[in-house]
Structure 1
Amino acid sequence: MWPWIVTAVLVAWIAMGVWQRNKPLPEDLGQAWPERPVEEVGFLADESWFDAQGGRHLDQAIFDEMLALIGDARRLVVLDMFLFNDFAGGSEAGEFRPLTAELTDALIEQKRRHPGLEAVVISDPLNTFYGGLELDHLEALRRAGIIVVLTDLNRLRASNPLWSGLWHLGPRWLGNSAQAGWLPNALGPGRVTLRSYLALLNFNANHRKTLVVDRGEGWAGLVTSANPHDASSLHGNVALRFEGAAALDLLASERTIAAWSGVGLPSPGPLPALSNDDGARLQLLTEGAIRDALLAAIKASGEGDRLDLAVFYLSHRGVIEALKAASARGVEVRALLDLNRDAFGLEKGGIPNRPVGRELVESGIAVRWCATRGEQCHTKLLLRRPVDGGDAEMILGSANFTRRNLDNLNLETSIRLLGRADSSALGQAGAFFERRWHSSPERITSMPFEAYDDTTTWQRLRYRIMEASGLSTF
């Protein structure tokens, strides 16, 4: 009987893996919302740079703006953040900004001041190590009357189908316990169960980073690459803050995720139509629609146009091939990449950006590395500026340019802005990129590609296998 039993298990494993990889997406995922007229849009950045003596300097704006928006809310706050904890990993915690406590305190205080305020915090179950930990700040939010939603990731397609096929046949149904931990927590303090690590191997995530609040009679939204995670507080990040109908699109996109956990978000009535003089437009993008917009922007670039990207992870083969094709037809492409060297006190192997950087350089694309010393160049930004003076375009948000982030496997949110290249937000984004790209001895922001041109054949092979299989953390 044993051969039959083993065969049946293998067939079930493979069948479940195929199903989990290809099952229908939940409704409203991977959506491109309509282009909306711009109202009160602003570009924000968290930047770090180093002086000639090696001292680190920080210019940060994103979480200050987020706290200000929460402080002005009276009716509704909907916050969706991937990492929302004070875990430091292997890093020294003393140098970090206490973002988790600041955001928690701001939410609780605003709820205290305005008891009628409806506040919902959506996050990824990685924060509790998939049910293996109880976090004090999440419990404090609940006690204050704030709804805390840990996203049901089982609704997503399998990023790692080789493992997820087996996971959904057995371990998934065992649940987890925050009181039964016996293994060290790789993310921070405390003990977790084996079930926590088995859940981790699925590599699924609600990777969104968004905020929606009421703003007087209207609505404001913020989409960013930044996490309210203490050990991430030194990272470089970008954000777009906006008001108007696009904020209601953002709220609608979060309504789907909250509903998975039985939480209903309000549906405010439509705002009055706006007209603007400069023709600038905003478009909300989620999941696979981000990929489609990136590819469309790259393919729309012609000879003499400028295409700039600043990305934490660049590995998606479709995006890479599109960038190489754009360069071949005369587009000026510049890629500012993280070294993929540092991860919360641990040293990584440079994958995927080192081998991808070498591939881009071999195709004639200019590549520079962000100057980092323990922190990460965590931005996810593409900026297209036509040579003929037509509409410029910017896409930024939570999504790295990888298979997991762009191919409907993670939950992701980005925002697309179109308008004149010299308009406020687009001009600020262009200035941000130029500051990062052009380094000087007095203000070190980036390094030439040759400084870390150390890619090996083994690295290239590992990157390709990891990207294709899903057996990776990028």
Structure 2
Amino acid sequence: MWPWIVMALLVAWAGMGAWQRYKPLPEGVSHAFPERLAAEVRFLADETWYGPSGERHTRRQIFDEVLAMIGQARRLVVLDMFLFNDFAGAADGQAFRPLSAEVTDALIEQKRRYPDLVAVVITDPLNTFYGGLELDHLQALREAGVRVVITDLNRLRASNPLWSGGWHLGPRWLGNGSQGGWLPNVLGPGRVSLRSYLALLNFNANHRKTLVVDHGDSWAGLVTSANPHDASSLHGNVALRFEGAAVLDLLASERPVANWSGVSLAGPMPVDNRSELPEKARLQVLTEGAIRDALLAAIETSGESDRLDIAVFYLAHREVIDALVAAKGRGVSLRVLLDPNRDAFGLDKGGIPNRPVARELHDAGIDVRWCVSRGEQCHSKLLLRRPAEPDGEAEMLLGSANFTRRNLDDLNLETSVRLVGPVETSALRDGMAFFERRWHSSPQRITSQPFEAFDDATAWQRVRYRFMEATGLSTF
């Protein structure tokens, strides 16, 4: 009987893996909201650069704005952040900004000052190592009356179906607990159970980084690539802060995720306004696969002498890479600024996927440069399109989504925003200026280095990248 039992288990494993990979998406995800008139849009950036003697310089805007937005809220705060902890991995001991404590204290203080304030924090179960840890700051938020939602990732499609088929048949139902862990926590202090690592192998994530608050009689929102994670406080990141109808779209995008845990988000619903927008800047909220569609549309509609500038932590998505190569063939001016994928909280990342991808882009004639990083990461996820015609419209796309299969193909939860408008729109100008500062390095302000600095991709790296991207057996 054993051969039949083994065969039945393998068939069940394969069948469950296929179902988890292709099951219907939960209602409300992978959505492109309407274009809205852009109101009070501001581009924000966290930047790190180096002086001629190697001294580190930083300029931080994003979480200063997050704290200010929380500090003026009276009715509602909805914060959805992927990493929200003080874990530092192997990089422990460095002088990181205590972002997790600052955000926690701001939420608790605002709830104390305004007891009727509805405050909801949505985060990824990686922060508790999938139920293997209790975090003091999350418990403090709960005790202060802040609703803490640990995202139910089982609702999502399988990023790693080779493992997830077996996971959903057995280990998933064992649950987890914060007592009795015997394995080291690779993310930080404490010990966790084997069940934490079994959950980790699914490689799913709520990777969003958003904030919605009431702002007087209106609403304000922020979408970013940055996390309130202490060890990420030196990373380079970007954000858009905005007001108006698009904020209600952002709030609507968070309702399904909160509802999975039985939390109902207050606030008005978006208005279905289909009237023709004026020829001014417009803002659009995008989630999951809709980000991929907008990204490909921006690249594929670029014509001769248009300019595309990209600054991204991970570039691996095959459709995006093919679209960039095709755009270069049409005469589009392309610049791609990449993280060398060297540093991950004190550990060596090995250069995958960016180094083999950079070689591919370079061979196609695309200009590639590397961020200068010394422990931190070039963590932005940014595309800028500038038209050749002076009276044409420019476009910016930024948010949480890296340009990878996991981030763009309805596997993670992701949120980005798309800003379209005249080139002189201030947020677009500021985004372009940010890219120029990062791209053009000088001896007094060292920010980037030429492609040759990390032109070391091996055949084995190329094979590993393609295999990892195709199967989901990866962390990117």
Partner of 2:3: 3
Structure 1 segment 71-470 matched on structure 2, within 5 A = 71-268=71-268, 279-389=280-390, 390-470=392-472
Letter in 2 for 1:443: R
Greater mean alpha carbon deviation, residues 223-232 or residues 384-393: 384-393
Q: By how many angstroms is 1:92 displaced? A: 3.1
Q: By how many angstroms is 1:299 displaced? A: 0.5
Q: By how many angstroms is 1:179 displaced? A: 0.6
Q: State the SS of the aligned residue for 1:443.
A: coil
Greater mean alpha carbon deviation, residues 102-111 or residues 275-284: 275-284
Instruction: Give the TM-score, by structure 1 length.
Output: 0.99
Q: By how many angstroms is 1:268 displaced? A: 1.2
| Cα separation, 1, equivalents of 2:83 and 2:55 | 28
Structure 2: tracts of 5 or more residues without a match: none
Q: State the SS of the aligned residue for 1:40.
A: strand
Q: State the SS of the aligned residue for 2:172.
A: helix
Q: Residue deviations 1:122-168, cap 9 Å, x none?
A: 00000000000000000000000000000000000000000000000
Q: State the SS of the aligned residue for 1:93.
A: coil
User: Residues 43 and 241 of structure 2 are in contact (CA less than 8 Å); yes or no, is this contact kept in structure 1?
Assistant: yes
Q: By how many angstroms is 1:445 displaced? A: 0.3
Moved over 6 A (4+): 271-277
Letter in 2 for 1:470: G
Greater mean alpha carbon deviation, residues 262-271 or residues 174-183: 262-271
| Cα separation, 2, equivalents of 1:11 and 1:431 | 55
* Number of corresponding residues: 474
Letter in 1 for 2:446: I
Partner of 1:472: 474
Q: By how many angstroms is 1:229 displaced? A: 0.2
Q: Residue deviations 1:241-296, cap 9 Å, x none?
A: 00000000000000010000000001415579799875110000000000000000
Q: Residue deviations 1:22-53, cap 9 Å, x none?
A: 00000111100000001100000000000000
| Cα separation, 1, equivalents of 2:276 and 2:217 | 18
Q: State the SS of the aligned residue for 2:90.
A: coil
Q: Residue deviations 1:331-373, cap 9 Å, x none?
A: 0010000000000000111000000000000000000000000
User: Residues 38 and 276 of structure 1 are in contact (CA less than 8 Å); yes or no, is this contact kept in structure 2?
Assistant: no
Letter in 1 for 2:405: R
Q: State the SS of the aligned residue for 2:211.
A: strand
| Cα separation, 1, equivalents of 2:132 and 2:163 | 20
Letter in 2 for 1:368: R
Q: By how many angstroms is 1:67 displaced? A: 0.2
Q: State the SS of the aligned residue for 1:418.
A: strand
Matched, 1:63 2:66: no
Q: By how many angstroms is 1:423 displaced? A: 1.1
Q: By how many angstroms is 1:452 displaced? A: 1.1
Q: Residue deviations 1:364-389, cap 9 Å, x none?
A: 00000000000000000000001013
Q: By how many angstroms is 1:94 displaced? A: 3.6
Residues 269 and 9 from structure 1, CA distance in 2 versus in 1: closer, same or farther, beyond 3 angstroms? closer
Q: What's the % identity of the aligned pairs? A: 75
Partner of 1:31: 31
Q: By how many angstroms is 1:419 displaced? A: 0.5
| Cα separation, 2, equivalents of 1:325 and 1:278 | 30
Residues 272 and 353 from structure 1, CA distance in 2 versus in 1: closer, same or farther, beyond 3 angstroms? closer
Greater mean alpha carbon deviation, residues 151-160 or residues 275-284: 275-284
Instruction: Give the TM-score, by structure 2 length.
Output: 0.98
| Cα separation, 1, equivalents of 2:93 and 2:428 | 35
Q: State the SS of the aligned residue for 2:89.
A: coil
| Cα separation, 2, equivalents of 1:465 and 1:310 | 24
User: Residues 249 and 270 of structure 2 are in contact (CA less than 8 Å); yes or no, is this contact kept in structure 1?
Assistant: no
Residues 98 and 224 from structure 1, CA distance in 2 versus in 1: closer, same or farther, beyond 3 angstroms? same
Q: Residue deviations 1:148-205, cap 9 Å, x none?
A: 0000000000000000000000000000010121100010000000000000000000
User: Residues 93 and 231 of structure 1 are in contact (CA less than 8 Å); yes or no, is this contact kept in structure 2?
Assistant: no
Structure 1: tracts of 5 or more residues without a match: none
| Cα separation, 2, equivalents of 1:242 and 1:334 | 27
User: Residues 304 and 387 of structure 1 are in contact (CA less than 8 Å); yes or no, is this contact kept in structure 2?
Assistant: yes
Q: By how many angstroms is 1:455 displaced? A: 0.8
Residues 214 and 170 from structure 1, CA distance in 2 versus in 1: closer, same or farther, beyond 3 angstroms? same
| Cα separation, 2, equivalents of 1:381 and 1:51 | 25
Q: Residue deviations 1:40-94, cap 9 Å, x none?
A: 0000000000000000000010000000000010000000000000001000334
